[in-house]
Structure 1
Amino acid sequence: MGRGKVVLKRIENKINRQVTFSKRRGGLLKKAHELSVLCDVEVAAIVFSSSGRLFEFCSTPSSMLKMIARYRSLKNDESKATTSANETQNNYQEYLKLKAGVEYLEHSRNNLLGEDLQPLSINELEQLENQVEMSVKQIRSTKMQVMIDQQCDLNCKEQILQDANRNLRKKAQEALITVEAEPSQPAINDRTLQIGGSPVSNAFIPGWI
């Protein structure tokens, strides 16, 4: 009669659990030793009991720390390689999406320019025609709005110039009125001199030319 299949689950009895741990731990460390000897490989095994006691085996006992450091280094390299591979895959997927988007935009541009229309169906041509008509309406509307805005700017500039012109005319008229209101000054003869506060004709000065 064959032995039944052992169901792996936690042993509830503490004594039985401890005995099983001692036996299996010894068998595990023995198998690790046999593997290192038979296959000429580096093997390390670390076991902590439920009470926190450490049990370990290393094929080269003096290099347990070196083996752990080597393990960590390899795991880090593997993690970096996995991350790099994932990033490469994501970048490639993003590239494919961008490439498809660029091709679609180029195809749409060519259709709007009236090129590459042969592969399009009647429905697609009608949709393209409607799109072009809507674009033309939008362009005309925008053009009209720009012209209206420019006309408003020109009207504003014209009003500003007219106001400035009126102000200049007003100031010129005020200046003319002020000049006309001032009393006229007697003209001074070029050949008259002021000596001692009295005008003297050059005819009374000897040697006057």
Structure 2
Amino acid sequence: MERSVARYRSEVGLPGTNDQRSRSLEFWRCEIEELRRTITKTEAQLRHFIGEDIAPLGLKELKQLERQLKTGVERIRSKKKRVISEHIKLLKSEQRALQEENARLQKRLHELPDANVSSRIPEPNACNAFHQQRIFLEGSHQ
């Protein structure tokens, strides 16, 4: 059956399967070449964006590149501001939570039945005074 179809195609002049394969192959060759050109062009643009290989560029291309870079910088700054703003909001929220916890703990401390408990918790200045007094006493014993 297959031979009959192939013979009919050749007699009538219809393209055979080999012609289809060659057309498909030619299509993919053209596609590959187009992709290579696109890659080369994109790589050149990337080099221009980082300031390399700009000597052959004319005034028009340099102005266009400058506009593109300005737009990119503006987008970066905008994103940076959003990220910083979100971070600040997060830090403020954490600060409020810590302040609330501190107030709650201080209230609990003052509500304890033993009044001497608060005197047992050294204040920062009390620690420094104790340390200085210890140094003084150690120095006078020598």
- TM interval, short-chain normalised: 0.5 to 0.7
Match of 2:77 among 133, 137, 140: 140
Counterpart in 1 of 2:108?
Answer: 171
Q: CA deviation at 1:82?
A: 3.7
Counterpart in 2 of 1:113?
Answer: 50
Counterpart in 1 of 2:61?
Answer: 124
Match of 2:26 among 89, 99, 102: 89
Q: CA deviation at 1:69?
A: 4.6
CA distance in 2, matches of 1:168, 1:73: 93
Structure 1's unaligned 5+ residue stretches are 1-67, 181-209
Distance 1:172 1:136, change over 3 A: same
Count residues with an aligned counterpart. 108
Higher CA-based Rg: 1
For residue 117 of structure 1, give the secondary structure of its aligned residue in structure 2.
coil
The Cα offsets for residues 28-60 of structure 1, whole Å up to 9 and x where unpaired, read as: xxxxxxxxxxxxxxxxxxxxxxxxxxxxxxxxx
User: 2:87 aligned with 1:154, yes or no?
Assistant: no
Counterpart in 2 of 1:42?
Answer: none
Q: Decide which structure has greater strand share.
A: 1
User: 2:70 aligned with 1:70, yes or no?
Assistant: no
Q: Decide which structure has greater helix share.
A: 2
Structure-2-length-normalised TM-score? 0.62
One-letter code aligned to 2:109: A
Q: CA deviation at 1:165?
A: 2.3
For residue 129 of structure 1, give the secondary structure of its aligned residue in structure 2.
helix
The Cα offsets for residues 109-157 of structure 1, whole Å up to 9 and x where unpaired, read as: 1111222222211111111122222222222222222211111111111
Distance 1:83 1:170, change over 3 A: farther
Greater RCO (CA < 8 Å, at least 6 residues apart) = 2
For residue 71 of structure 1, give the secondary structure of its aligned residue in structure 2.
helix
Q: Please identify runs of 4+ aligned residues in structure 1 that moved more than 6 A.
A: none
Aligned-residue identity in percent:
27
Structure 2's unaligned 5+ residue stretches are 10-15, 116-142
CA distance in 1, matches of 2:91, 2:100: 14
